[in-house]
Amino acid sequence: MDKKSKSLSKNQKIVLDFIQKNKKPVKAYSILSNVQKKGINAPPQVYRALDKLIEIGKIHRVESQNSFVACKISNCNTPHKTVFSICNSCEIVSEINDPKLFKNLKDFRDKDGTVFDGYNLEFFGTCKSCKNKQIENTKH
């Protein structure tokens, strides 16, 4: 087996699997109730798996929603800083991968010259599909 990618534990796999199956971010207790049939019985089992999956970069936490989403960038085996767009209407979340924006953020220094080792950025707006629906509705 590949040295770097130590395989995931049973619970970690179950939790990751469920998160990856969902297009939208999922909440911890929703994960719990959906994986109980697989033998995960209590919150700590879910939260531990989440912590680990975040640590290794397989998933990210969407801070403003207390929810969790699979990483869509690269081959998902390095933790990294995140930029999300979040639809105010349907709450769908997309991970943004914009080199120029990343560079701006990476290079940012505050007044003291402090170098930051991480960031989290969430954009809020109306996604294309929701915007179209709104336009549809005004027609009637």
- By CB under 8 A, is residue 122 in contact with a copy of itself? yes
Q: How many CB atoms lie within 10 A of CB 53?
A: 23
Q: Indicate the DSSP class of residue 114.
A: P
The amino acid at 99: P
- By CB under 7 A, is residue 49 in contact with DNA? yes
By beta-carbon proximity to a copy of itself, the closer residue of 21 and 101 is 101
Q: Which of 20, 48, 105, 130 binds DNA (CB under 7 A)?
A: 48
By beta-carbon proximity to a copy of itself, the closer residue of 17 and 98 is 98
For residues 52 and 69, give the distance between their C-alpha atoms in angstroms, rounded to a whole number: 14
By beta-carbon proximity to a copy of itself, the closer residue of 40 and 59 is 59
For residues 53 and 77, give the distance between their C-alpha atoms in angstroms, rounded to a whole number: 10
Site string for a copy of itself, 57-96 (x = CB under 8 A): ------xx--------------------x--x-----x-x
- By CB under 7 A, is residue 41 in contact with DNA? yes
Distances (CA, A) of 128 to 21, 99, 140: 22, 22, 20
The amino acid at 124: F
